[in-house]
């Protein structure tokens, strides 16, 4: 659990308990330090150890905000939340503008935890951002050259160090191809190597040669890796200029020769030993004459020297380094004093090899002997001088002849180590060339006896760089020329100067990029040092126009009043009205801070000015909008509510009295659940839980209990309620009383049910009556002898049957206004086929196509047409008891419908066109087709086909007589 340290400034123990209880809900480990007054706060040492400060606003003067002033004076970046028991007013805005993070009423402590979490999250993000920016800036502003290029070898970005290495400006490099800095003879090879690198993704410690702008070559050590961003591949390369190092390597070899020093290395496991040329030169032999891997150099040593060297090597094998002096006799018989050093190299706590040096120190020994003779003359003053002193050889070797205790302390070397070094060893490699040139010029000028002064950078034994001022003069020591050097460590002074310069640059940048106008004026109101970019933008005057003049944006009638305020020079925050260069009036938030000089008097005044013109207008508009919003809410006849996280009412409009019988003040603070009907309590609880998780409910049924105990029905909506930080803090919604509407709906449903029964009965009776009529036709036909008349009676019966079937379908369906035609045709065809079953013929009937629904007005004429066409096919298409097939199809073509009846019979007679006007069936078909907004067509080819193309009528009533 994250620990959060809270500094609470509160003098009311009950409020302390309420605030503590609220903070415990945060889920953090809250650790509270309680102060009872601002005086105790100001006397207590406050540091950055607190995460947040919570202060009772009434303990401070609202116009000054002492806590904020105190934090600013101490440069403490600790968020402050003000809590007040008084109604929120305009002081809230002043507090926020002054730097408070939130202003919370004690009646609404529920906002405290969200505010705390918001500030903790902002602190975390700020730290992450600061660290990220520090990392990026440190990387890109480092002494290492940085270059980013894409896979096409185009340079995307470079830092200043890389530009300095290459001699180009950023604008010349960024966007250019790498060919610009690649030696022409290597371009093709480098292109291939670059492509291979992009594929591999990594390149460590490669040495490159590139071309500077001036045409010279630069030697670089490059570390590169591939980074991927937005699907693209980029090469991130870091460059170290080793041009000088390579030159210094050559120089080092030459210096080693002059210094008569060599290096050696011995591997313990293999016994392999390697020497540099310097050691061969000391022994006076060549590399061809002597191989240290096959023989030892014992023959060059005296017995004592050899034994000392062997003991030292054995100790080094155990991990103990050595630094000894031995006496040898070279191949020419010359006696020499040599210094041998050995350093063990470890791998996993085991010595695997020894590296060291071997130096001819014969001349040094001779100098030591000479120096020893005159040591008593200067040793006391030299050794006890509080300033670091070095005595250097002036023979060109720059050897350190002597060093005092102060020099040992400064550089971290022992005296023995210093005396084995040259002054070059105390300098960084990049400074050696300049130093040698300075010494040469000084020597050429012949300024012996004159004290010279220079400054530069030296390095300590631990590798730390120090800034020094050196003073030297040439002296004669034991008959030889030397240089007596006094060193002053000015590192702290230099760091202070650099820090001061950096601070000034940062302050200058911050002031110039500040989002508010910042100016400085004298106590008399004269603009002097600062008139930042924002001030130019807000007021319209450029800095050069106002420096040395009285504040230009003060209206003439206010000048004397402003001068009096400036004389008092007290810190103050206020809203003021001023003018711009164009004469436009603007509203400003004015922060006035006096700057005290060394004499304790006000030397100048810093003024921070924030343009709040638009904010002031917006605030007024918000106040008006809030007034209208509240009027609209209170005038609404719908119930409007807000419920907090714990399920308690926090707001209701006046509709609560009309709908529930309760005034808003009777319900606010009460849980909502007791006012929900028991049968809906569980469902309402679940809905509230879902809303608190972010779900919205646009419409749901709700039943609530009025004050008189009556259950009412409502149509409700519920939505999450968010705070400024985007956290869900409650539920809001509306509800419309639909009790009367539901009662009316139930009445309509009862009425509709009765009418449905009545309609079914009507259709059933119509069907039965048509059956009676059909039966009467059948009875009458039994007494008729004329077959043609009998046939007419049967056709009429079939037509009546087609209509009766429609009514039968209607009362059997749930809908009483339409029927499905395919289902109807199946029953109709079944009846027709049964009618002609006794003819002895085998007639197949096929029905296919789309399902079509027609209302009763359309279905009756359609059914009669279908009956006529199918009956005619049975009667006339298949004479002499021949077999055949009748096919019916229904095709839905959108607005138009196509009904087709075709048979495989003998076709229409030749005189069909002449006689069709005398046919009752054809006349009936044509008449009914017109009523369906349709047209009947026919053809006689390989049987007969009748096609009815019609657009169903939208007529909703039908007068049956129109079809007769």
> What domains can be seen in the chain, in order of their start residue?
3-137 (3.40.50.2300), 141-241 (3.30.450.20), 246-360 (3.30.450.20), 373-495 (3.30.450.20), 516-616 (3.30.450.20), 636-737 (3.30.450.20), 817-963 (3.30.565.10)
Read off the DSSP letter of residue 454: E
Would strands 572-579 and 585-596 be described as parallel, antiparallel, or unpaired? antiparallel
pLDDT digits (tens, 9 = 90+) for 892-941: 988 899 999 999 988 888 777 766 666 777 888 888 888 888 999 989 88
Give the start-end residues of each E strand in 758-807: none
* More confident position, 243 or 943: 943
883 burial via Cβ count (<10 Å: 0-12, 13-18, 19+)? exposed
Cα–Cα distance for residue pair 743/81, rounded to 1 Å: 54
Q: Are 853 and 820 in contact (CB under 8 A)?
A: yes
Cα–Cα distance for residue pair 468/493, rounded to 1 Å: 10
In this prediction, residue 200 has a pLDDT band, given cuts at 50, 70 and 90, of: confident
* Secondary structure (3-state) at 924: helix
Q: Tell me the HSE value of 123 on the side-chain side, using a 13 A CA sphere.
A: 16
Left if phi > 0, otherwise alpha if psi is -120 to 50, otherwise beta: which for 894? left
> Quick one: tokens of 254?
């030459």
Q: What is the pLDDT of residue 85?
A: 77
Q: Which strands form 517-521's sheet, in the order they lie side by side?
A: 527-531, 517-521, 602-611, 585-596, 572-579
Q: Is the pLDDT score of 61 beyond 70?
A: no
Q: Are 286 and 312 in contact (CB under 8 A)?
A: no
> Quick one: tokens of 958?
């039908």
Cα–Cα distance for residue pair 771/764, rounded to 1 Å: 11
Closest by alpha carbon to 644, among 716, 721, 702, 696? 721
Residue 500 CB coordination number (10 Å) = 10
Cα–Cα distance for residue pair 853/823, rounded to 1 Å: 10
Which of these ranges, 24-28, 131-135, 360-364, has the smallest mean pLDDT?
A: 131-135
pLDDT digits (tens, 9 = 90+) for 497-509: 777 777 777 777 7
Backbone angles phi, psi at 800, to 5 degrees: -65, -40
Cα–Cα distance for residue pair 611/589, rounded to 1 Å: 7
Cα–Cα distance for residue pair 445/927, rounded to 1 Å: 135
Read off the DSSP letter of residue 859: H
* Secondary structure (3-state) at 952: coil
Q: How far is CA 473 from the centre of its chain?
A: 63
Q: Is the pLDDT score of 958 beyond 50?
A: no
Cα–Cα distance for residue pair 39/50, rounded to 1 Å: 18
Give the start-end residues of each E strand in 706-852: 711-722, 728-737, 818-820, 843-849
Left if phi > 0, otherwise alpha if psi is -120 to 50, otherwise beta: which for 647? left
Q: Are 285 and 314 in contact (CB under 8 A)?
A: no
Q: Is the dihedral of CA 605, 606, 610, 611 positive or negative?
A: positive
Q: What is the pLDDT of residue 255?
A: 59
Q: Are 418 and 406 in contact (CB under 8 A)?
A: no
pLDDT digits (tens, 9 = 90+) for 708-766: 989 988 889 999 999 888 899 999 988 888 887 877 777 777 666 655 655 655 556 66
* More confident position, 556 or 300: 300
Q: Is the pLDDT score of 251 beyond 60?
A: no
Q: Which strands form 102-105's sheet, in the order they lie side by side?
A: 29-35, 3-9, 52-56, 80-84, 102-105
Cα–Cα distance for residue pair 277/283, rounded to 1 Å: 10
Q: What is the pLDDT of residue 129?
A: 67
pLDDT digits (tens, 9 = 90+) for 257-315: 666 788 889 888 888 888 888 889 999 998 888 888 788 888 899 999 999 999 999 99
Q: Are 946 and 912 in contact (CB under 8 A)?
A: no
Q: What is the mean pLDDT of residues 119-145?
A: 69
Which of these ranges, 117-126, 566-575, 868-877, has the smallest mean pLDDT?
A: 566-575
Cα–Cα distance for residue pair 265/344, rounded to 1 Å: 10
Residue 963 CB coordination number (10 Å) = 15
Closest by alpha carbon to 272, among 294, 254, 248? 294
Q: How far is CA 728 from the centre of its chain?
A: 21
Closest by alpha carbon to 938, among 949, 924, 950, 952? 949
**CA dist list (Å): 663 to 69, 560, 707, 820:** 46, 57, 10, 57
Model's pTM, two decimal places? 0.28
Q: Is the pLDDT score of 964 beyond 50?
A: no
Q: What is the pLDDT of residue 312?
A: 93
Cα–Cα distance for residue pair 901/920, rounded to 1 Å: 19
Q: What is the pLDDT of residue 810?
A: 59
CB under 8 Å to 925, separation ≥6 — which residues? 865, 868, 869, 936, 946
Residue whose entry in the numeric block shows the structure tokens 């009776």: 765
Mean pLDDT score of the chain: 82
pLDDT digits (tens, 9 = 90+) for 773-818: 766 776 777 777 777 776 666 667 667 777 777 666 655 655 556 7
pLDDT digits (tens, 9 = 90+) for 284-298: 998 888 888 788 888
Q: What is the pLDDT of residue 808?
A: 67
End-to-end C-alpha distance for the chain, whole angstroms: 92
């Amino acid at each position: 659990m994250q620990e959060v340290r809270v500094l609470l400034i509160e003098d009311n123990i009950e409020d302390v308990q309420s605030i503590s209880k609220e903070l415990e809900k945060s889920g953090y480990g809250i650790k509270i330090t309680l102060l009872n007054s601002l005086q105790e706060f100001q006397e207590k040492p406050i540091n950055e150890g607190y995460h947040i400060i919570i202060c009772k606003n009434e303990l401070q003067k609202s116009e000054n905000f002492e806590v904020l002033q105190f934090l600013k004076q101490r440069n403490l970046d600790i968020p402050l939340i003000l809590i007040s028991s008084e109604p929120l007013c305009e002081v809230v805005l002043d507090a926020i503008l002054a730097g408070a993070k939130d202003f919370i009423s004690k009646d609404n402590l529920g906002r405290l935890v969200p505010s705390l979490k918001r500030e903790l999250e902002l602190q975390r993000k700020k730290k992450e951002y600061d660290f990220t920016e520090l990392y990026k800036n440190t990387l890109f502003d480092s002494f290492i050259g940085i270059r980013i290029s894409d896979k096409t070898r185009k340079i995307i970005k470079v830092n200043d160090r890389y530009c300095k290495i290459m001699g180009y400006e950023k604008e010349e490099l960024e966007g250019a191809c790498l060919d610009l800095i690649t030696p022409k003879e290597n371009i093709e090879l480098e292109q291939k190597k670059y492509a291979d690198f992009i594929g591999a993704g990594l390149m460590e410690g490669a040495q490159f040669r590139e071309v500077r702008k001036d045409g010279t070559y630069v030697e670089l050590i490059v570390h590169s890796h591939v980074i991927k961003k937005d699907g693209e591949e980029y090469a991130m390369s870091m460059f170290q200029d080793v041009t000088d190092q390579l030159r210094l390597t050559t120089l080092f070899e030459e210096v080693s020769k002059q210094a008569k020093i060599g290096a050696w290395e011995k591997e313990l496991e293999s016994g392999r030993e390697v020497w540099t040329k310097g050691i061969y030169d000391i022994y006076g032999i060549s590399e061809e004459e002597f191989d240290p891997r096959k023989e030892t150099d014992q023959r060059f040593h005296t017995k004592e020297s050899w034994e000392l060297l062997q003991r030292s090597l054995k100790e080094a094998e155990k991990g103990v380094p050595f630094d000894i002096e031995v006496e040898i006799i070279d191949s020419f018989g010359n006696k020499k004093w040599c210094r041998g050093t050995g350093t063990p190299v470890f791998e996993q706590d085991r010595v695997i090899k020894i590296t060291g040096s071997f130096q001819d120190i014969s001349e040094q020994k001779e100098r030591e002997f000479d120096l020893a003779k005159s040591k008593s003359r200067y040793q006391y003053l030299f050794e006890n001088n509080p300033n670091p002193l070095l005595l250097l050889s002036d023979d060109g070797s720059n050897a350190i002849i002597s060093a005092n205790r102060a020099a040992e302390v400064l550089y971290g070397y022992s005296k023995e180590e210093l005396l084995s070094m040259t002054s070059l060893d105390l300098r960084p490699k990049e400074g050696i060339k300049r130093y040698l040139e300075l010494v040469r010029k000084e020597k050429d000028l012949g300024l012996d006896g004159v004290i010279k002064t220079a400054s530069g950078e030296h390095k300590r034994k631990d590798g730390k760089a120090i800034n020094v001022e050196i003073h030297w003069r040439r002296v004669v020591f034991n008959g030889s020329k030397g240089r007596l050097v006094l060193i002053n460590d000015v590192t702290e002074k230099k760091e202070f100067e650099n820090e001061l310069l950096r601070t000034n640059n940062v302050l200058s940048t911050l002031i110039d990029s500040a989002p508010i106008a910042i100016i400085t004026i004298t106590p008399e109101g004269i603009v002097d040092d600062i008139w930042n970019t924002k001030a130019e933008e807000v007021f319209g005057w450029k800095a050069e126009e106002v420096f040395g003049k009285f504040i230009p944006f003060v209206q003439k009638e206010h000048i004397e009043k402003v001068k009096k305020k400036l004389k008092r020079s007290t810190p103050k925050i206020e809203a003021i009205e001023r003018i711009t260069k164009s004469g436009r009036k603007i509203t400003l938030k004015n922060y006035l801070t006096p700057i005290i000089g060394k004499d304790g008097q006000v030397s100048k005044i810093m003024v921070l000015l924030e343009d709040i013109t638009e904010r002031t207008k917006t605030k007024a508009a918000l106040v008006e909008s809030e007034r209208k919003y509240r009027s609209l809410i209170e005038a609404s006849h719908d119930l409007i509510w807000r419920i907090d996280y714990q399920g308690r009412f926090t707001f209701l409009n006046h509709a609560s009295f009309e709908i529930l019988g309760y005034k808003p003040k009777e319900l606010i603070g009460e849980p909502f659940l007791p006012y929900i009907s028991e049968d809906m309590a569980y469902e309402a609880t679940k809905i509230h839980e879902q809303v608190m998780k972010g779900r919205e409910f646009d419409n749901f049924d709700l039943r609530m209990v009025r004050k008189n105990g009556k259950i009412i029905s409502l149509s409700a909506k519920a939505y999450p309620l968010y705070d400024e930080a985007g956290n869900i803090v409650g539920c809001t919604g509306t509800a419309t009383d639909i009790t009367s509407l539901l009662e009316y709906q139930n009445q309509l449903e009862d009425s509709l049910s009765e009418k449905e029964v009545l309609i079914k009965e009507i259709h059933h009776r119509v069907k039965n009556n048509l059956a009676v009529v059909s039966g009467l036709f059948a009875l009458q036909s039994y007494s008729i002898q004329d077959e043609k008349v009998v046939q007419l009676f049967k056709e009429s019966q079939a037509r009546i049957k087609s209509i009766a079937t429609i009514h039968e379908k209607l009362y059997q369906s749930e809908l009483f206004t339409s029927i499905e035609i395919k289902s109807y045709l199946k029953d109709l065809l079944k009846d027709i086929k049964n009618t002609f079953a006794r003819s002895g013929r085998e007639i197949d009937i096929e029905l296919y196509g789309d399902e079509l629904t027609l209302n009763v007005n359309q279905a009756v004429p359609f059914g009669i047409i279908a009956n006529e066409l199918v009956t005619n096919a049975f009667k006339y298409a298949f004479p002499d008891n021949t077999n055949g097939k009748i096919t019916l199809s229904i095709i839905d073509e959108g607005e138009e419908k196509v009904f087709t009846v075709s048979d495989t019979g003998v076709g229409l007679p030749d005189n069909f066109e002449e006689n069709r006007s005398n046919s009752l069936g054809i006349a009936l078909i044509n008449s009914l087709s017109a009523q369906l907004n349709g047209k009947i067509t026919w053809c006689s080819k390989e049987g007969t086909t009748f096609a009815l193309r019609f657009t169903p009528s939208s007529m909703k009533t039908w007068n049956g007589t129109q079809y007769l």
